[in-house]
Chain A
Amino acid sequence: MEIKFLHIGILTWITFLPVLGMIVVLLLPKEQKQAIRWTSLAFTILQVILAVVIFQNFDRTLAGINSKEGMQFVEQYRWIDIKSTSWIGRIAIDYFVGIDGISVPMVLLTALISCIAVISSFSIEKSIKGYFALLLLLDTGMMGVFVALDFFLFYVFWEIMLLPMYFLIGVWGGPRREYAAIKFFIYTLLGSVLMLLAMLALYFSVTIKDGNEVIHTFNMLAMMNPENFVHGSLLEGVGTSWRYVAYIALFIGFAIKVPAFPFHTWLPDAHVEAPTAISVILAGVLLKMGTYGLMRIAFPIFPDAAIHYLYPLAFIGFINIIYGAYCAMAQKDFKKLIAYSSVSHMGIVLLGMAAMNTQGMMGAMFQMFNHGTITAMLFLIVGVIYDRAHTRGLDDFGGLMNKMPKYSGIMMIAFFAALGLPGLSGFISEAFSFLGAFQTFKWLTIASAFGIILTAAYMLWTLQRVFLGTLPEKWNNLTDINGREMAMLVPLAVIVIILGIYPSPVLDLMNSSANALVDFVKNSAGIAMLGQ
């Protein structure tokens, strides 16, 4: 499947449209506030349209994972090509993008969340030119991560996001923004440099045929084939200690982003200080990069190590679920509560992945999508109330239900989806994850399922504190949500409800890839074990 506009593939368009938008925004004079806002919105809407085109034309039967033929909308061009010398072979790096069932839901999510983040940013007043330029650059980085199939390219996109994020939190954030921004930056950079080393080790271990020459490569798909590993290289063979080390290095890099316990401490700070739109992006898209990286890179490239460390992974998932839920329960700040609930919900993704069966994997992938939409809603809801009351203290509110009926209606959808009420999308993905995990880790799953009760507890308690009871006098003049806020919340609510009742549109996208991924990891690890 290929779609091109002006001889440039659709994935390149969807990735670099925001950069075009950024250039236009930078060229506009900074007094033209409305023009800057609407330009950014126009470009992200275009991106959503492209995402819909991709959704329509995506072939649900192809699996992808480790074969280029299974990837769709592929574009591959030589980016860097340096002829060989007597002491080092040719260095060739490709601009190689393509999507399969793992990435396509993420591409849709990124387009959607970016657009909604732009709408939500309309209320920003402080140097908006810089703000929207950075937001659009961030958008490109995120989209690039999900479409890249070359490790080098992936890494570049992965790092491009850091700087805009740092500034967006650091300049437009809350009172402790500096601390939160630098903490985010240092944590993520620490993870990515470990990933860099693993990437370089892989580079020297893998070769492919390019014409008549045998060259080293950053091609992820080539890295998944054990036959491509050079004899005598660092990461050759099966279950050798360096393979475990490299897997752990990759894992830490991704786990920081998830964030998995004990690397999660940057998240609450970053969320609390970030402006609403950035929290939405952070929770909606950025966290998924961690789990996406595990599925796209760590699992298929190191199936032996992945299988070997499944239990620790599940255990980290379990800690995330329970610990995140307990922390959420203790919070008095609305935003911090949602941040910890993210930690808890991402734990379910980890647990589902660790199950290493189709249900678990599907559950994890679907949970990634659903968490993206639901948590985005939750943060937007906090943003709405914060814009009006300038406080996020849970105990400061009460009885908002009568005062803001439309707002409360939407809030109910988000809250119940987050606590996994059947009929809303969160339920399906959580059920799948736990179902899958139960087959592999019985007791751990039972213990983790306890987290659902905790989630229900803190969600309902929050609902009670903020929306029920009597309205304090000082909030008598709160207004209900306006049209712009409806525009960003309603689409998400609709998606949450539709996918709760009829999840197949998204499940179909990832079904064959999830199957293929599980089979691939299990088989290659299995063959490897036999070979030993």
Chain B
Amino acid sequence: MINQVLQSLPYIVPELIVTGTLCLVLLLSLMMRKKSDLLVFVAALGLFAALAVLTSQPFASACLFFKMTVIDPFSQFFKLVILFAALIVVLMSRFSDEVNQIKKSLGEYYFLVVSMTLGMMFMVSASNLLMMYLSLELTSLTSYVVVGFIKQSKNSSEASLKYLLYGAFSSGVMLYGISIIYGLTGTMELSGINQVLAQGSANTAMLLIGGIMLLVGFGYKISAVPFHFWTPDVYEGAPTTITAFLSVASKAAGFAMLMRALKIMFLDSSALEIGNEFWPLIHGIPVVEILSVLAVLTMTIGNLVALWQDNVKRLLAYSSIAQAGYMLLGLATISNEGYSAVMLYFIVYLFMNLGAFYVAMLISNTLGSENIHDYKGLGRRAPFLSVSMAVFLVSLTGIPPTAGFIGKWMIFLSLINVKMIGLAVIGVLNSVVSLYYYLRIVRNMFLHEGEKEEVAIRYPLAQQLLLLCLMVPTLYFGIFFNPLIELVQFSVQMFGIK
């Protein structure tokens, strides 16, 4: 037994590094309370080291810890996304006035962010329902705390409480779903469940109920409609850095878990043929229908409600709901191509969404406001910031030559390939709707004159450099997307399936 644990350890070096980092951050914050820069440095260095180790083992593929977790290109890919997002968020936090005003507990802040990262890393590699639940809870519990991090702010506390209540409820439902599935199949291990289902002995109705309950947990994490009600309030109330982190990394982890569960549990591996676009699914469970409805609801409601928002963070919250809808479209194709399109979308989304939140954070640092009407005249006062915001928003809309277009293009490509034309039409019409609210921000920045006197706002070089790090890939990958597609096509492989 101990042997297997020891054998598994080399594969989770990145996780171990992250664990070490979080211990170190905690210790440092106890010993040296005043040195916040040191904390940032240690956290960033730890995350960077984890990233470096991760990229050095791209072909690893194994089953670890008594089939609790696996390591495969798929999980490696999502860990990459999560670690990168965490790194950016840590650097962002360094520049955030909101976070830095709480000097006393900065150590806890970085500690919690790194723990969230650890939870997410386990989420993407979990191959057992119990492990999925545990890692999901690790992520959730830490994020409840960090969302309410600004104790003086009423909004932040409200957000935290709301997040906690919704989270507790949905993870309860999820747990119940897991118990039903366990009762039906006698195992919690995904491929084991698949084998039992393939025999067709399980009661379909009960399985459907269990599956939908499980979906509640996933849906909550990726904020799909109708499990999205917490999202706007939490995104608005939480510190902007955390909002950015939740909207990218947490969503990525939720998606990875959902994608793995779907594929491993419901794929009929006996009928699998090489070269077939559609995966044969174990019959009786309307996976495609459920996902399609979810996708359409998520993007349409997200987009329509976003039209009315005046708070930029809230607007971006609804936008990120809608973005999850587009990704669900890719899932609904139930094909390797759809999966790789979603993964591609995540890389792109990482840059553009973090970028948009980063700009919103910098602006609220100086203006003290997140209201869209206060953005008036910023195009002249802070040209570089405004231009990059415009790039991110255009990319979120999906207009070439930005990377966002490539993400959407791949998703629609996979939809057309499996002849889901109705969904593709709804998808593109939604992106036309989204143009309106994304441009509302741009419009306020460039088309309106500011009411107050126009003083140029200057930002330190370091802050601009970080912004550049997010903007350049958004533009570059819009034109040269070869490497991205190659990466996701490689990474779509999961352990246990050809």
- Could you tell me which A residues sit within 8 Å of B by CB distance? 80-83, 85-88, 91, 127, 155-156, 159-160, 162-163, 166-167, 170-171, 177-178, 181-182, 185-186, 189-190, 193-194, 196-197, 200-201, 203-204, 234
Q: Which of B276, B435, B447, B485 has the most chain A CB atoms inside 10 A of its CB? A: B447
B489:A181 contact, CB within 8 angstroms: no
Bound-complex Cα distance A87 to B418 (A): 12
From A87, A91, A162, A185, contact of B485 by CB (8 A)? A91
Q: Which of A162, A178, A196 has the most chain B CB atoms inside 10 A of its CB? A: A196
Bound-complex Cα distance A234 to B416 (A): 9
CB neighbors of A among B382-440 (8 A): 394, 399-401, 405, 409, 412-413, 416-417, 419, 421, 424-425, 428-429, 431-432, 435-436, 439
Bound-complex Cα distance A63 to B275 (A): 41
Q: B191 → chain A, closest Cβ, in Å?
A: 21
Closest-by-CB residue of A relative to B498 is A86
With A156-B400, A170-B447, A196-B412 already in contact, the answer to whether A163 and B394 are too (CB < 8 A) is: yes
What are 12 A-B pairs at a CB distance below 8 A? Answer: A80-B481, A87-B337, A156-B401, A160-B400, A163-B394, A171-B447, A186-B435, A189-B399, A190-B432, A197-B416, A197-B425, A201-B421
From A91, A162, A197, A204, contact of B399 by CB (8 A)? A162
B424:A88 contact, CB within 8 angstroms: no
Q: Which residues of A contact B413 (CB under 8 A)?
A: 200, 203
Q: A490 → chain B, closest Cβ, in Å?
A: 35
A185:B421 contact, CB within 8 angstroms: no
Closest-by-CB residue of A relative to B416 is A200
Q: Is B205 an interface residue (CB 8 A)?
A: no
Q: Which residues of B contact A200 (CB under 8 A)?
A: 409, 412-413, 416, 424
Bound-complex Cα distance A86 to B417 (A): 15
Q: Which residues of A contact B419 (CB under 8 A)?
A: 234
Q: Which residues of A contact B489 (CB under 8 A)?
A: 82, 85, 88
A155:B447 contact, CB within 8 angstroms: no
A127:B380 contact, CB within 8 angstroms: yes
Bound-complex Cα distance A87 to B276 (A): 6
Bound-complex Cα distance A200 to B409 (A): 9
B447:A181 contact, CB within 8 angstroms: yes
Q: Which residues of A contact B482 (CB under 8 A)?
A: 80-82
Closest-by-CB residue of A relative to B413 is A200
Bound-complex Cα distance A182 to B307 (A): 14
Bound-complex Cα distance A178 to B412 (A): 31
A159:B447 contact, CB within 8 angstroms: no
Bound-complex Cα distance A182 to B397 (A): 14
Closest-by-CB residue of B relative to A127 is B380
Closest-by-CB residue of A relative to B397 is A189
B335:A87 contact, CB within 8 angstroms: yes
Closest-by-CB residue of A relative to B433 is A186
Closest-by-CB residue of B relative to A233 is B419
Q: Is the interface of A mostly helix, strand, loop or mixed?
A: helix
Bound-complex Cα distance A193 to B399 (A): 10
B417:A193 contact, CB within 8 angstroms: no
Q: Which residues of A contact B276 (CB under 8 A)?
A: 87
Closest-by-CB residue of A relative to B412 is A200
Contact string, B464-498, partner A, CB cutoff 8 A, digits 1/0? Answer: 00000000000000001110011001000000000
B485:A182 contact, CB within 8 angstroms: no
B400:A204 contact, CB within 8 angstroms: no
Known: A87-B337, A159-B400, A182-B436. 20 other contacts (CB 8 A): A80-B485, A81-B482, A83-B486, A87-B335, A88-B337, A170-B446, A171-B447, A181-B447, A185-B439, A186-B436, A189-B431, A193-B429, A193-B432, A194-B428, A197-B412, A197-B421, A197-B428, A200-B409, A203-B413, A203-B416
Q: Is B443 an interface residue (CB 8 A)?
A: yes
Q: Which residues of B contact A88 (CB under 8 A)?
A: 277, 336-337, 417, 489
Bound-complex Cα distance A130 to B372 (A): 23
Interface size counted on chain B using CB atoms at 8 A: 38
A171:B446 contact, CB within 8 angstroms: yes
B424:A197 contact, CB within 8 angstroms: yes
- Could you tell me which B residues sit within 8 Å of A by CB distance? 274-277, 335-337, 380, 394, 399-401, 405, 409, 412-413, 416-417, 419, 421, 424-425, 428-429, 431-432, 435-436, 439, 443, 446-447, 480-482, 485-486, 489
Q: A272 → chain B, closest Cβ, in Å?
A: 17
Bound-complex Cα distance A186 to B433 (A): 8
Q: B492 → chain A, closest Cβ, in Å?
A: 8
Closest-by-CB residue of B relative to A91 is B485
Q: Which residues of B contact A181 (CB under 8 A)?
A: 447
Q: B198 → chain A, closest Cβ, in Å?
A: 21
Q: Is the interface of B mostly helix, strand, loop or mixed?
A: helix
Q: Which residues of A contact B275 (CB under 8 A)?
A: 86-87
A87:B277 contact, CB within 8 angstroms: yes
Q: A193 → chain B, closest Cβ, in Å?
A: 4
From B277, B417, B435, B481, contact of A189 by CB (8 A)? B435
Q: Which residues of B contact A186 (CB under 8 A)?
A: 432, 435-436
A178:B336 contact, CB within 8 angstroms: no
B416:A201 contact, CB within 8 angstroms: yes
Closest-by-CB residue of B relative to A155 is B400
Q: Which residues of B contact A177 (CB under 8 A)?
A: 447
Bound-complex Cα distance A81 to B483 (A): 10
Q: A7 → chain B, closest Cβ, in Å?
A: 20
A193:B431 contact, CB within 8 angstroms: yes
Bound-complex Cα distance A127 to B439 (A): 20
A166:B416 contact, CB within 8 angstroms: no
Q: Which residues of A contact B428 (CB under 8 A)?
A: 193-194, 196-197
Closest-by-CB residue of A relative to B336 is A87
Q: Which residues of A contact B417 (CB under 8 A)?
A: 88, 204
Closest-by-CB residue of B relative to A205 is B416
Q: Which residues of B contact A178 (CB under 8 A)?
A: 443, 447
Closest-by-CB residue of B relative to A191 is B432
Bound-complex Cα distance A473 to B439 (A): 45
With A80-B482, A181-B447, A193-B431 already in contact, the answer to whether A159 and B439 are too (CB < 8 A) is: no
Bound-complex Cα distance A12 to B223 (A): 45
Q: Which of B276, B425, B435 has the most chain A CB atoms inside 10 A of its CB? A: B435
With A181-B447, A201-B416 already in contact, the answer to whether A159 and B432 are too (CB < 8 A) is: no
Q: Which residues of A contact B486 (CB under 8 A)?
A: 82-83
Q: Which residues of A contact B431 (CB under 8 A)?
A: 189, 193
Bound-complex Cα distance A88 to B488 (A): 13
Q: A141 → chain B, closest Cβ, in Å?
A: 10
Bound-complex Cα distance A159 to B431 (A): 14
Closest-by-CB residue of B relative to A78 is B482
Q: Give 4 closest A-B pairs by Cβ, nearest first.
A: A193-B428, A200-B416, A87-B336, A156-B400
Q: Which residues of A contact B399 (CB under 8 A)?
A: 159, 162-163, 189
From A86, A159, A167, contact of B405 by CB (8 A)? A159
B394:A170 contact, CB within 8 angstroms: no
Bound-complex Cα distance A181 to B429 (A): 19
Q: B249 → chain A, closest Cβ, in Å?
A: 27
Q: B454 → chain A, closest Cβ, in Å?
A: 12
Closest-by-CB residue of A relative to B447 is A170
Bound-complex Cα distance A203 to B416 (A): 9
Closest-by-CB residue of B relative to A193 is B428
Bound-complex Cα distance A170 to B447 (A): 6
B432:A189 contact, CB within 8 angstroms: yes
Q: Which residues of B contact A86 (CB under 8 A)?
A: 274-275
Closest-by-CB residue of B relative to A157 is B400
Closest-by-CB residue of B relative to A129 is B383
Closest-by-CB residue of B relative to A88 is B337
Q: A14 → chain B, closest Cβ, in Å?
A: 19
Q: Which residues of A contact B400 (CB under 8 A)?
A: 155-156, 159-160
Bound-complex Cα distance A194 to B481 (A): 23
